[in-house]
Amino acid sequence: MNILFTICARTGSKGAAGKNVRMFCGQPIVYYTLAIYEKYVNKYSNSQNVIDLAVNTDSMQLLEQIDRKGTEYIFVERKEELAGDAASKGDVIRDTFLAAEKIKNYEYELIIDLDITSPLRSLEDVEGTINTVVQNEKCNYAYSVVESRRSPYFNMVCRGGDGFYDRVIPSDYTARQQVPECFDMNASIYVYTKEYLLHMSNENRHALIWKMEDSAVLDIDSESDFETMEVLTKYYWEQGKYLDIKQNL
């Protein structure tokens, strides 16, 4: 199976300035994503598998950091029309995939996107998300989640057209235990089949999830997120967790 991993990161962030090139617990934050990618390659790379990494960015600083790490990658320059806040990440991943196929001159069957600002993930998380797609013929898309602490049916509200607030999804539920099980997408791992990535739509999406440890995953998008995740990361290392990442930084 030919697999393409992607790292997609643009310059500029309104939540946390330069978040994709920041230092995190003493190392560039991208090194955490590279470390788990390299662990996957070391375990699964053989004559029957092609496993490549493509980096889509407009940041020279990010490329310099990756070059210092020594990880081989396919560079795909971020297109101007895909560099704004409104650009869909799915469109960016698809553009990266198409460019990588053209550069390498062969086809990929699976595309796995790893987000830079979710630095803690295990090899089991990556394997699990991939296997969720591979082992289910009808599934064409899978992504990592954590259990939701709030429910749109019960204790999440939004402002209505009349200016007053009510539950996001109107319901008569009186206890959280009654509501449908909900999850938060944590932006850590996305797995696409080639066919779905090329023709993404609500109509042809058959998605499944991979549940990750709640407190270990926070999609960093603010200064307080950085501080919280650094504290958690150091705590987990002291507890003997995620040391495989630390050892490969």
Query: Does the pLDDT value for residue 207 go beyond 90?
Result: yes
pLDDT, tens digit (0-9, with 9 covering 90-100), for 46-100: 878 899 999 999 999 999 999 999 999 999 999 888 877 777 889 999 999 999 9
Q: Which residue has the higher pLDDT, 141 or 219?
A: 141
Q: Inform me whether the pLDDT recorded for 45 exceeds 90.
A: no
Q: Which is nearest to 22 in space by CA: 58, 61, 76?
A: 61
pLDDT value of residue 80: 81
Q: What is the pLDDT, as a whole number, of residue 16?
A: 67
Q: How confident is the model at residue 223 (pLDDT cuts 50, 70, 90)?
A: confident
CA distance 20 to 28: 8
β 141-147/27-28 pair status: unpaired
Higher pLDDT, 189 or 15: 189
Quote the distance between the C-alpha of residue 177 and its chain's center.
29
Over residues 202-216, the mean pLDDT reads 88
Query: What integer pLDDT is reported at residue 225 of this predicted model?
Result: 86
In which band, very low, low, confident or very high, does the pLDDT at 217 lie, cut at 50, 70 and 90?
A: low
Q: Is residue 195's pLDDT more than 70? A: yes
Check whether 165 has a pLDDT greater than 90: yes
Identify residue 140 by its one-letter amino acid code.
N
The per-residue pLDDT for 24 is 94
Q: How many CB atoms lie within 10 A of CB 134?
A: 16
CA–CA separation, 101 and 17 (whole Å)? 32
pLDDT band at 14 (very low <50, low <70, confident <90, very high): low
Q: Which residues neighbour 111 within 8 Å (Cβ) at sequence distance 6 or greater?
A: 3, 4, 5, 6, 93, 97, 191, 192, 193, 194, 197
Q: Which residue, chain included where needed, has tokens 């591979």?
A: 134
**Mean pLDDT of the 188-195 span:** 96
- Six token digits for residue 189: 């791992």
Tell me the percentage of the chain whose pLDDT exceeds 90: 66
Using 50, 70 and 90 to split pLDDT, how confident is the model at 5? very high
Q: What is the pLDDT of residues 96-134, one digit of tens each?
A: 999 999 999 989 999 999 999 989 999 999 999 999 999
What angle, rounded to 10 degrees, do the helices at 123-134 and 30-44 form?
60
